[in-house]
Amino acid sequence: MAPVNATTAYQQLQCAPGYTSNLCAACEPWHYINAEFECRRVFPLQVAIVHAQYYIIIVRLPVAYPSDMAKLSGALSAVTGAESAIAYSYSCFFPADASDGQARTQLLGALLVPFAVIATSMLVWGVSSNFYRVLSQADATLGLSTQLWVMGVIAVFILYPGWAQAALSVFACYKIDDGQTGLYPQNQKAAWRHGYWVRDMAQQCYTGVHLRLYVPIGIAAVAVLCLGPPLASFVILWHHRAALGSKNVRQRYSFLYARYKPRFFWWESVLMLEELALVAVEVFGRGLKSVTHQILVMLASFIVISAINISCRPTRLRVITMLEFMSMTVLSLTVSLSLFFVVDEGLSATDERPVGVLILAINVVLLVTFLGVLLRGSWGKLRGIASQAHRVALAALMRGK
């Protein structure tokens, strides 16, 4: 083992196994850190791509939520998109790296792997369309190039929150000591004025390798991955909107404008910017000293976004507008109920479970409502399929006799 000085050795004795550095918030080799500063032991390879949703962003707040909420978060993380406690960490490919190597691998993985996912998905779709013809219905209306373009647009929209979280995390820093206040300010060893990088609490922000390597990467990532998709979406939609005078073009691209009113054809870009705002609140909110302040800032963000959406009412269908409003209401209520866990001394073990159950209940009920609305339009078709299956089963039984 490499020699260490007395101060480092003393700090290490204060950390639990697997943890090291300032606030014990960095990980030793053969461990990886998640968004909650938890060092997890490296396990055998499990490739999982998760996609962030608003509920996941809320649950990632540094709040001692009941375990049932974490279970729902884990279930949703399979289809959402941000780094989570159950997601396999990219740093596990290099388990012997120290915290600086872990941070580099996690950041680059979060930025680059989605590109590979999109490329693989489009390749599989193209192969299926060309050689197996399993997409006959889509092939009847859209050419392969258009299908791939639509898939790319959908994939970028789904992966966008995870990209935004990774890009903005480059600039997320946490100030530990100031070297002036406290009982023994002269003994404070983590008093760098810009704070320490949340992905690696052993690295000082805006100096050394963070300034030379990660800040340029972060600037490029924000420009390309945070601002690029909303701008590209607006430009593409504007271009096709101008060409809708042609009947063929109108039939081919009408699906782009079917959801929104004509004057709000660009609303997909607004949705991505709203996601970007919430991700920014979650990322930079970690630098706030008080968890209560983080929750209040996120609650204010949900209220503003809800006000914008309900005031504009960009969707064509009233039911969609109501469902979106219900979603923002439930999310705002979820954030508000989170205050019970942090205000004053929080809740007792017997009181926190009912609050957690209430949060789970309102979110599950809303998801079931979404499912019911989705199935309502195809209920007749489903009944027809069920009736046909019933007749086939009866005919098979009669032949058996």
- Using one digit for the tens of pLDDT, what is the confidence trace for 345-371? 777 777 888 888 899 898 888 888 877
| Domain extent at residue 128 | 6-47+88-287
Q: What percent of the chain has pLDDT over 90?
A: 12
CA gap 111, 167 in Å, rounded? 7
Cα-based distances in Å from 41 to 13, 38, 154: 19, 10, 34
pLDDT tens readout for residues 189-208? 777 888 888 888 889 999 99
Report which listed range, 45-54, 59-68, 237-246, is most confident.
Answer: 59-68
- Residue 62 within a domain: no
Question: Over 80: is that where the pLDDT of 289 sits?
Answer: no
pLDDT at 88: 55
Beta bridge partners of 20: 26
- Residue 265 within a domain: yes
* Count of Cβ atoms closer than 10 Å to residue 316 Cβ: 14
- Residue 17 within a domain: yes
- Residue 140 within a domain: yes
Cα-based distances in Å from 93 to 39, 42, 169: 15, 9, 21
Label residue 257 by pLDDT band (50, 70, 90): low
Phi first, then psi, for residue 3 (nearest 5°) are -70, 145
- Residue 378 within a domain: no
CA gap 154, 125 in Å, rounded? 13
Beta bridge partners of 40: 32
R_g of the chain computed on alpha carbons: 25
- Residue 379 within a domain: no
Question: Over 90: is that where the pLDDT of 211 sits?
Answer: yes
Question: Over 90: is that where the pLDDT of 376 sits?
Answer: no
> What would the mean pLDDT of 79-86 be, rounded to a whole number?
48
pLDDT at 180: 77
pLDDT at 140: 53
> What is the domain count for the chain?
1
pLDDT at 224: 93
pLDDT at 227: 93
Report which listed range, 68-82, 131-145, 216-230, is most confident.
Answer: 216-230
- Residue 303 within a domain: no
CA gap 102, 324 in Å, rounded? 38
pLDDT tens readout for residues 218-236? 999 999 999 999 998 888 7
Q: What is the distance in angstroms between the CA of the first residue and the CA of the last residue of the chain?
A: 78
Out of 107-116, 157-166, 256-265, which region has the weakest mean confidence (pLDDT)?
Answer: 256-265
Name the residue among 65, 134, 100, 159 with its Cα closest to residue 347. Answer: 65
Cα-based distances in Å from 124 to 150, 151, 159, 237: 14, 11, 18, 26
**Signed CA dihedral, 199, 270, 365, 333: sign only:** positive
Label residue 86 by pLDDT band (50, 70, 90): very low
pLDDT at 47: 29
pLDDT at 373: 77
Label residue 32 by pLDDT band (50, 70, 90): low
- Residue 377 within a domain: no
User: The tokens of 355 are what?
Assistant: 């609050």
> What would the mean pLDDT of 209-226 be, rounded to a whole number?
94
